[in-house]
Structure 1
């Protein structure tokens, strides 16, 4: 089963806790199935109070991706037991960042491969060296 890049991007947004909370994801999946099974439930996602405070463009994109995934899977008569192995480690990274002019910390979450993580560590080491040089001046 092949999915378009826009569908994959929408699924990534749906699974990204920084954009869609776990509770909202559960509602999003339920609404996607409800919309496919009954026309009366189609597009009710925009009126759902579970997504108040969430960027509506992200909610719509994630919803469309989930609907596409489910409809494509049903075309091929796939179930939740049909998985492909990638055999590549994925690291989930959570960083606490300072917000200029505020005492609050903002949490940034992302996932990356081992290669991407090594690249990030290298760039962070380079940034630390630059700061050390600036501090010595």
Structure 2
């Protein structure tokens, strides 16, 4: 059984073109002298051919009928869009959750700049910054 599994794996690699030049030359030599390997290659090639078969294409009338049936579905009917209003996170003054202004906003901005400066200085001091 392991020999058969190895043979099928090798045949698959040959059919799919996954072998390097040396392996491919050895496989082509084995195709000439080893009937079992030749059979494995033919089986794998047939399976690959079946995967490559194209289904029958539907006519234009069939596609129009399919499109019409899809258009009749309740999910495809249009709805009026809701009126655009403030976001759900807006407070009573109309500002969202992430808007910060005034002295508090300035304090946060100064803190972020200071944190970036400290991080940069630490990186330069340790030599790990670029």
Look at both structures and tell me which one has the larger radius of gyration over its CA atoms.
2
Q: Same fold (TM over 0.5)?
A: no
TM-score (norm 1): 0.27
Q: Whose strand fraction is larger, Structure 1's or Structure 2's?
A: 1
Q: Whose helix fraction is larger, Structure 1's or Structure 2's?
A: 2
Question: Which structure is richer in relative contact order (CA contacts within 8 A, separation 6 or more)?
Answer: 1
TM-score (norm 2): 0.28
